[in-house]
Amino acid sequence: MTQDLHDGITALVETLYNHKSCPKDVTFTVNTNGRKYWRVEYRTDTQRSALGFIVVQPTKKFKVGDLLMASSWNAPATNFSRGNVIDRDFRLVRPYGIG
C-alpha cells in the first residue's frame, strides 16, 4: 500500500466519523483482504454493513483509490466512481453509504 493510499483511507475514516449524521455507537473499518477492492465496513454492536469499496488494483475503468458504491456485501457497483481517497474527493460519502 502506498503512503498516499494509506493517508487517503485515514482521511476517509475521519470524514465518516466527523459527518453530522454519524451515530455515536458506530465503528468504521477497512477490510483489506481483497485483491482488487477493499471493503469499507460500518459496524455496530448488532450489525455490519458494506458502505462501499476502494479500488486497490487499477482496471481499464478505475484507478487506485477510486470509491465505489456497494452493490452487495461482496461486490461493488462498477458503473462509475463516487470519488477517490488519494484525491480526497469525498463529496458522495456518508456514514450510511458511498453513493
Residue 20 lies in a domain: yes
> How far is the C-alpha of 88 from the C-alpha of 36, rounded, in Å?
20
pTM of the model: 0.91
Domain range enclosing 18? 3-92
What is the tens place of the pLDDT at every residue in 3-42? 999 999 999 999 988 888 888 889 999 999 999 999 999 9
> How far is the C-alpha of 35 from the C-alpha of 47, rounded, in Å?
25
Residue 29 lies in a domain: yes
> How far is the C-alpha of 44 from the C-alpha of 90, rounded, in Å?
22
Residue 98 lies in a domain: no
1 pLDDT higher than 80: no
Closest alpha carbon to 40 in 48, 31, 21, 65: 31
Looking at the structure of the chain, the number of domains it has is: 1
- Nearby residues of 22 by Cβ (< 8 Å), 6 or more positions away: 16, 95
Residue 84 lies in a domain: yes
